[in-house]
């Protein structure tokens, strides 16, 4: 028997294996991951081992069991003890106790609290808590519908729920923006009447799910503060808090978010105002006294406002957090959610990171996979035609419109050319990652135009036998017309030929805006808020083209239409 030859033992002393020292998470890292760990360990009651594996896998946080236990002790976490998210409110503190007392009260309404070890001042703590709550609310919705069973239940529930139609949601959003527009144009009395009408309508959009509601509501608020209409912003927040008071519990994310905004404003005013000016601040006035005044007098645009400088980036960041989660967790089965989001009227440019997620949307639109994928996502037991639901909810409010001005003679050419141009720009953005003029809001409008065009183009294949001259076909054509108007408007914004500083380019822009107004009138009716806002853009284009007489005529016509829109709100109403 032969044995294998053994290698001679080395005469050199062995080098001891020294384990690489483990990197210890810093204090700042623990503070950043606090909301996520609290959600998993306290609210979802996950085991510590699960929390450790999840945080290492998703966030790269490597820590030992003892590190976690020490941190939990410091934060006041207790294993397997069901803690209430909302503590018992402390007695109301007097105003003289200042910002710290209010910050303490506001912490009782937060979805997730922040550790005292963060060493933040009260104002920064309020802002960080507000952003954390927005992110938590948005993420919680998508986690709720991430399983097949949950998605099926959601689809079935939304079929039976009386949601406001997408066009109704758009009308309400634009009505609120019209208040800020009228204030900027010096129409205080009309702005007051428009505010009363808009605030009467705004309750309807509270039925939307969290991501859609935050997208629309935060964008409206951002629009207000960018124009430096802080009083209008505070009126809206106060009015919404009054509406949700008896609608949802105090622990619901919506009142939590609104209370957070209110506390941020109060803390800023307290810190910035002098004793002489503190009495003039009306941050806590009731809806009955502030929302329904005959006219509104607030600071106009162009005036420097420290409060706006604080609120604008904060609300922009909150909107972006929600938008990022919405794009990252795209699901064709949630078509109803996306359909109630205001894409083409959004004034906030999303971050560039959204392009990769939006690319998936664009690919599915071009491949026309939304119908089959969306139906499959809802499961075999609860299958339904998502396209039909979206179309019916869009077309329903248009059934009562009377015939407006006829379509332009070149309508067919306008429709084909504009949609084709949108597809071209969409491909360029997704292939190169470059946005026209660096404006990412164009991406949202391109998506909105292509999605709606794809759905409407599929109508004959899904609903055969519709009379081409019947009322349903006319309703579809109205939606087509409004979508073409949005497409032309988007092309005006992103086409560099309109940026040249010459009268010929301005004249082309005027003719394009004329087509937009005509198509909007056909699609929505003459007194719709969307039509009025496009008329003001036409007025601006006419002024740039040195056509002042027609610009004044357009302005008078727009105000006359607004008078019809708010004719149910008396001028002398207190």
Neighbour-count burial of 513, counting CB atoms closer than 10 A to its CB (0-12 exposed, 13-18 middle, 19+ buried): buried
What residue spans of 273-353 are helical by DSSP H?
275-278, 287-290, 306-328, 335-339
Q: Is the pLDDT of residue 262 over 60?
A: yes
- pLDDT at residue 574 greater than cutoff 90: no
Residue 476 backbone dihedrals phi, psi, to 5 degrees:
-65, -40
Classify burial at 533, counting beta carbons within 10 Å of its beta carbon; exposed 0-12, middle 13-18, buried 19 or more. middle
The whole-chain average pLDDT of the chain stands at 74
Hey, which of 104-118, 281-295, 476-490 has the most confident mean pLDDT?
476-490
The mean pLDDT value for 458-470 works out to 49
Is the Cβ–Cβ distance between 322 and 215 less than 8 Å?
A: yes
| SS3 (DSSP) at 77 | coil
pLDDT in tens, 426-442: 777 777 665 555 667 77
From 3-17, 68-82, 196-210, the region with the lowest mean pLDDT: 3-17
DSSP notation for 473-534? HHHHHHHHHHHHHHHHHHHHHH-GGGGSSSHHHHHHHHHHHHHHHHHHHHHH-TT-HHHHHH
Under 8 Å CB-to-CB from 263, ≥6 apart: which residues? Answer: 102, 103, 106, 126
Those residues with Cβ within 8 angstroms of residue 486's Cβ, 6 or more apart along the chain or in another chain: 344, 445, 448, 449
pLDDT at 463 over 90: no
Question: For the residues 316-338, what does the mean pLDDT come to?
Answer: 85
Report which DSSP code applies to 569.
Answer: S
Highest-scoring range by mean pLDDT, 219-228, 370-379, 465-474: 219-228
Q: Could you give the dihedral angle defined by the CA atoms of residues 307, 310, 313 and 315, in that order, rounded to the nearest 10 degrees?
A: -70
Does position 561 have pLDDT exceeding 60, yes or no?
yes
Percent of the chain predicted with pLDDT > 70: 64
| Average pLDDT of the residues in 445-456 | 78
95-109, 174-188, 502-516, 559-573: range with lowest mean pLDDT = 95-109
User: Measured in Å, how far apart are the chain's first and last C-alpha atoms?
Assistant: 112
pLDDT at 359 over 70: yes
C-alpha dihedral, 442 to 443 to 446 to 451, nearest 10°: -150
**pLDDT given for residue 87 in this prediction:** 37
For residue range 98-154, list pLDDT tens digits in order. Answer: 434 443 444 444 455 555 555 667 778 888 889 999 999 999 888 887 766 666 666
| Amino acid 148: pLDDT | 65
CA pair distance 534, 541, nearest whole angstrom:
10
pLDDT at 287: 36
CA-only gyration radius of the chain, Å: 28
Q: pTM score, two decimals?
A: 0.71
Q: What is the mean pLDDT of residues 12-17?
A: 47
Handedness of CA 327, 333, 336, 337 (dihedral sign): negative
């Amino acid at each position: 028997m032969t044995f294998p030859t053994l290698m001679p033992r080395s005469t050199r002393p062995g080098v001891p294996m020294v384990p690489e020292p483990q990197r210890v998470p810093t204090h700042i890292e623990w503070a950043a991951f606090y909301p996520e760990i609290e959600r998993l360990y306290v609210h979802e009651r996950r085991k510590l081992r699960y929390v450790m594996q999840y945080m290492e896998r998703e966030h790269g946080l490597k820590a030992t069991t003892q590190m976690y236990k020490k941190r939990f002790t410091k934060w006041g976490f207790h294993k397997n003890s069901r803690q209430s998210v909302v503590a018992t409110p402390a007695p109301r503190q007097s105003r003289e106790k200042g910002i710290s007392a209010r910050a303490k009260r506001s912490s009782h309404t937060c979805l997730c609290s922040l550790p005292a070890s963060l060493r933040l001042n009260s104002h920064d703590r309020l802002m960080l808590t507000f952003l954390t709550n927005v992110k938590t609310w948005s993420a919680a919705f998508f986690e709720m519908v991430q399983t097949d069973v949950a998605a099926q239940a959601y689809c079935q529930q939304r079929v039976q729920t009386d949601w406001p139609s997408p066009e109704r949601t758009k009308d309400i959003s634009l009505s609120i923006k019209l208040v800020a527009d009228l204030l900027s144009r010096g129409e205080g009395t009309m702005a007051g009447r428009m505010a009363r009408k808009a605030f009467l309508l705004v309750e309807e959009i509270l039925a939307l799910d969290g991501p859609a509601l935050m997208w629309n509501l935060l964008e409206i608020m951002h629009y207000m503060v960018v124009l430096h209409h802080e009083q209008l912003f505070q009126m809206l927040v106060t009015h919404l808090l009054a509406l949700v008071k008896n609608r949802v519990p105090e622990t619901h994310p919506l009142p939590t978010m609104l209370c957070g905004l209110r506390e941020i404003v109060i803390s800023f005013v307290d810190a910035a105002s002098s004793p002489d000016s503190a009495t003039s601040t009306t941050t806590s006035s009731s809806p009955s006294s502030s929302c329904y005044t005959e006219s509104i007098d607030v600071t106009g645009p162009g005036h420097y406002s420290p409060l706006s400088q604080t609120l604008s980036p904060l609300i922009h960041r909150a909107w972006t957090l929600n938008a990022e989660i919405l794009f990252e967790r795209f699901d064709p089965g949630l078509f109803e959610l996306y359909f109630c989001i205001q894409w083409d009227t959004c004034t906030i440019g999303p971050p560039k990171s959204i392009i990769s997620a939006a690319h998936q949307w664009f690919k599915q639109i071009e491949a026309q996979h939304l119908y089959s994928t969306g139906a499959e996502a809802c499961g075999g037991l609860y299958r339904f035609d998502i396209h039909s639901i979206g179309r019916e909810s869009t077309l329903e409010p248009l059934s009562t419109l009377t015939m407006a001005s006829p379509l332009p003679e070149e309508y067919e050419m306008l429709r084909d050319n504009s949609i084709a141009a949108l597809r071209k720009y969409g491909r360029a953005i997704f292939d190169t990652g470059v946005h026209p003029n660096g404006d990412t809001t164009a991406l949202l409008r391109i998506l909105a135009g292509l999605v709606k065009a794809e759905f409407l183009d599929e109508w004959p294949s899904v609903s055969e036998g519709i009379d081409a001259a019947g009322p349903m076909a006319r309703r579809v054509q109205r939606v087509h017309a409004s979508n073409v108007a949005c497409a032309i408007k988007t092309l005006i914004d992103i086409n560099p030929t309109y940026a040249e500083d010459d009268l010929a380019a301005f004249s082309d822009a005027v003719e394009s805006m004329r087509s937009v107004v005509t198509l909007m009138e056909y699609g929505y009716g003459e007194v719709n808020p969307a039509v009025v806002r496009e008329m003001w853009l036409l007025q601006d284009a006419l002024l740039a083209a040195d056509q002042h007489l027609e610009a004044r005529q357009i302005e008078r016509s727009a105000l006359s239409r607004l008078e019809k829109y708010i004719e149910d709100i008396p001028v002398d109403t207190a």
